[in-house]
Structure 1
Amino acid sequence: MPGQNAHVVIIGGGIAGTAAALALHRAGLRVVVCEAHPRTATDLGAFLTLASNGMKALGQFGAAAPISRAGFDLTSMSALDENGTELIARPLGEVEDELTRFRCLRWSELTAALQAEVGVQGIELRHGAGLLGAVENADGVTAELADGSTVTADLLIGADGLNSLVRTLIDPNAAGPRYAGQRVFYGYTSTATPPSVPGRITMVRGRAASFGYTLSPAGQTYWFARQTAPALEQVGVEPSAELRAQLLEGLQQDQTPTAEIVAATEGILVTNARDLPQVEKWRSERMLIIGDAAHAASPATGQGASMAFEDAVVLAKALRDSPDQDSALKLYEQVRRPRTEYNIAASAAMTGASRPPTLPPAPFSDEDVARHLEWDTPLSA
């Protein structure tokens, strides 16, 4: 197949890649997105929460409204101890604006909504076009793809996740992901209706697991459990009867609804929490990694998707406003490293902690983040 030219080729059509495509498109760049899966990305059956910062980032490139039509709002949170005593009850995020509220949705819903928006905005998304290799030279970077084609661009962005090939092309000695110390279970049930109110997510710090649940408007309970234990060999699958029994046994130690919720769930998914504690090289002359490929955190902070959306905005602004590509990539890394590395450290500290940890002050302010995400404000302002 003949080659193709573009300003930017993005490897990975998941949430980081599609968000970057939308942001770069708004900045006036010609983008091609190459996704390995033949039609849509596979879904582990997990769900996530998008925080207000993630929704704000989506709004900068026109994606907050379509995402707000998927899933449901989360407007408050409560925290229980192992005895069921409520420790905290408070509003969650910026609830006044429906486009900045926390959002609960399945990974598949989020991916589908972003890929649909890519299509609406006329951005090319090629399925079955996973990356085989890439070569840089003075004129650009050429990606060799699994569908037999090539794409030559000024910049190749690796949004290809924890097991990123682009990361190893940039640095063959780059460390891969590590086990973050916890197994993560996800499930949904319509037969257990724990105490809740619309829009509330309840977090339980139990004796044997950290647990969270919320009730959808349709009456389905979404839940997750994080359990400190050795890594599993098989992930993304239904846990064995023995593993399910072990989870239930741990939850039954607490005076909370968690064991009842799990017992009422027919289909459960289990996976290993993994992170990337330090990636020394994010970029070469014409390649850059973003999202989980560069700075994956364990799920404790719930910021993985929101960090990817922030990446998209900051990268688009850097490329839009900088005098050349090298300056843009330097500026992008300068802005994003402190925030993403702090999130990784905070999430690692929270993972498996018996109580909320005391974290050092963040190396950035809320005002810094707001300025970085505001589309019309230069990063260097």
Structure 2
Amino acid sequence: MTHALIIGGGIAGATAAMSLGKAGISATVHEAYPAAADDDAGAFLVLFPNGLQALRTIDAHEPVLEASFSAERVEMLAHTGDSLGVRPIAGGLPAGTPEEETPGPRTIRRAVLCRVLRQEAERRGAAIEYGKRLVDAVTGEDGRVTARFADGSTAQGDLLIGADGLHSVTRRLIDPAAPGPRHTGQITVCGRTPGAGPEIAPAPGTYRMIRGRRAFLGCTLAPGGDLWWFANTPGGELSRSALATATPRQHTRWRDHVAGLFSEDASPAAEIVRGSGAGIVATNAYDLARTPVWSRGPLVVLGDAAHAATPNAAQGASMAIEDSVVLAKCLRDLPGPEAAFARFELLRRGRVEAVVERSARLNDRAVQRPAAHRTAPHPGQEAPAGSDWLLRYRIDWDSPVGAGTAGTP
């Protein structure tokens, strides 16, 4: 049996392990952290129907649905606190549609999604090894690849999948000249406000989006009664220590900084942030617009290692999940890794680059990117009008993958 080495145990890595298993390919996931990390306690995301349908393709959607809650509508508020209207979230279910047939958007903590996917991958027989930080990969004369890790250990496989995120080591091994991620001029801060009253909390299933004078805040009410919020704030790239929120002093500093950005507004944003409990997390916002080379020999990248959008389109997790399923189909149906990787790139590049560009434009509405990043999109990056192309994407597991032109897999 073909055996894959997967670098990275996040959303892409765990989904890739399950997808490969369904395709008859065994996999070992090598995660850099020494144990399953839960250091982004306040960070959460939305999975849209395209991502949920991709999970359904490999029968992995049920645990995610159980660990998440519905996102049904969006209410926009001005900095004055005035409502600018309510609308259904794109991709929501038509009235009367059973959710088990077409899952609608779902909200879930990032750490919980990673944990649920890893647990399901392990339940299906995938091995996950922790404390395995990739430092090199060497392809032998037999075409097999040997991965070398920082702890001195090695692993061998028939192919190596880099699901190791924005700062991917695999991407650099494939192409040392590959561009790295671009900072977008935005810091994303997430938190939770316990016991928020109806005067500041939206109705269940609703995302309240508040466009402030100096920053943008979105929030939704979780089933336990906590108000989950995120803020897109202006700021240059910060070091890990500058982003830290673990101590009470660091937590207070970030809470007061974000609340201060809304202090001149008449909306409830400042009050929401000031009421935050423990669990604030601040992250640099990046994107990765175009990776020229996705694969070399038995090495390939997917997810954020190959392409990354700003958080604004809320499609990062869904794109990684789609990638993982499509790659498994290509490896199942085509003769050898190189042919499979070429087809995978052909199927995916235009779509994911259009998502990156779409998200960058949404980012500009909240926090302007640095001028150097506001360039014309590369051919193929232009996003089609509307959202059907994005949200109605479906992967047919049973249809064979050919070696022809790009299209829906």
Is TM > 0.5 for Structure 1 vs Structure 2? Answer: yes
Using the TM superposition, give the Cα deviation of residue 207 of structure 1 relative to its aligned residue in structure 2, in angstroms. Answer: 1.2
Using the TM superposition, give the Cα deviation of residue 250 of structure 1 relative to its aligned residue in structure 2, in angstroms. Answer: 2.2
Match of 1:374 among 375, 386, 396: 396
Deviations 1:280-332 (A, max 9, x none): 11110110011111101111111110110010111111111223322211110
Query: Does 1:290 pair with 2:291?
Result: no
Uncovered stretches (5+) of structure 1, i.e. residues with no partner: none
Task: Name the SS for the 1:125 alignment partner.
Answer: strand
Q: Distance in 2 between matches of 1:97 and 1:240?
A: 42
Task: Name the SS for the 1:349 alignment partner.
Answer: helix
Q: Distance in 1 between matches of 2:272 and 2:307?
A: 33
Using the TM superposition, give the Cα deviation of residue 226 of structure 1 relative to its aligned residue in structure 2, in angstroms. Answer: 0.2
**Does the 8 A contact of 1:41 with 1:111 survive in 2?**
no
Alignment of 1:124-163 (within 5 A): 124-139=127-142, 140-163=144-167
Residue of structure 1 equivalent to 2:228: 222
Match of 2:26 among 27, 30, 33: 30
Query: Does 1:362 pair with 2:375?
Result: no
Question: Which amino acid in structure 2 is aligned with residue 125 of structure 1?
Answer: I
Q: Distance in 2 between matches of 1:379 and 1:368?
A: 21
Using the TM superposition, give the Cα deviation of residue 240 of structure 1 relative to its aligned residue in structure 2, in angstroms. Answer: 6.5
Q: CA RMSD in A?
A: 2.5
Q: Which moved more, 1:368-377 or 1:309-318?
A: 368-377
Question: Which amino acid in structure 2 is aligned with residue 203 of structure 1?
Answer: M
Residue of structure 2 equivalent to 1:245: 256
Match of 1:165 among 160, 169, 179: 169
Question: Which amino acid in structure 1 is aligned with residue 330 of structure 2?
Answer: A
Q: Which moved more, 1:86-95 or 1:117-126?
A: 86-95
- Change in Cα spacing, 1:372 to 1:142, as seen in structure 2 (3 Å) is farther
Residue of structure 1 equivalent to 2:6: 10
Q: Distance in 1 between matches of 2:173 and 2:386?
A: 31
Q: Distance in 1 between matches of 2:367 and 2:233?
A: 14
- Change in Cα spacing, 1:355 to 1:263, as seen in structure 2 (3 Å) is closer
Using the TM superposition, give the Cα deviation of residue 204 of structure 1 relative to its aligned residue in structure 2, in angstroms. Answer: 1.6
Q: Distance in 2 between matches of 1:86 and 1:8?
A: 51
Alignment of 1:174-323 (within 5 A): 174-193=178-197, 194-233=200-239, 234-237=242-245, 239=250, 241=252, 243-267=254-278, 268-323=280-335
Residue of structure 2 equivalent to 1:55: 52
Using the TM superposition, give the Cα deviation of residue 244 of structure 1 relative to its aligned residue in structure 2, in angstroms. Answer: 3.7
Match of 1:119 among 119, 122, 126: 122
Match of 2:342 among 330, 345, 352: 330
- Give TM-score, length-normalised by structure 1: 0.91
Deviations 1:14-66 (A, max 9, x none): 11100111111101111111112222134322111111111111111121001
Q: Distance in 2 between matches of 1:235 and 1:367?
A: 36
* Count of equivalent residues: 376
Residue of structure 2 equivalent to 1:72: 69
**Does the 8 A contact of 1:202 with 1:214 survive in 2?**
yes
Deviations 1:238-289 (A, max 9, x none): 5565554342232123232211100111332222111212211111011001
Question: Which amino acid in structure 1 is aligned with residue 315 of structure 2?
Answer: Q
Residue of structure 1 equivalent to 2:88: 91
Using the TM superposition, give the Cα deviation of residue 353 of structure 1 relative to its aligned residue in structure 2, in angstroms. Answer: 1.6
Q: Distance in 1 between matches of 2:383 and 2:178?
A: 29
- Change in Cα spacing, 1:64 to 1:32, as seen in structure 2 (3 Å) is same
Using the TM superposition, give the Cα deviation of residue 370 of structure 1 relative to its aligned residue in structure 2, in angstroms. Answer: 5.2
- Change in Cα spacing, 1:10 to 1:146, as seen in structure 2 (3 Å) is same
- Change in Cα spacing, 1:371 to 1:298, as seen in structure 2 (3 Å) is closer
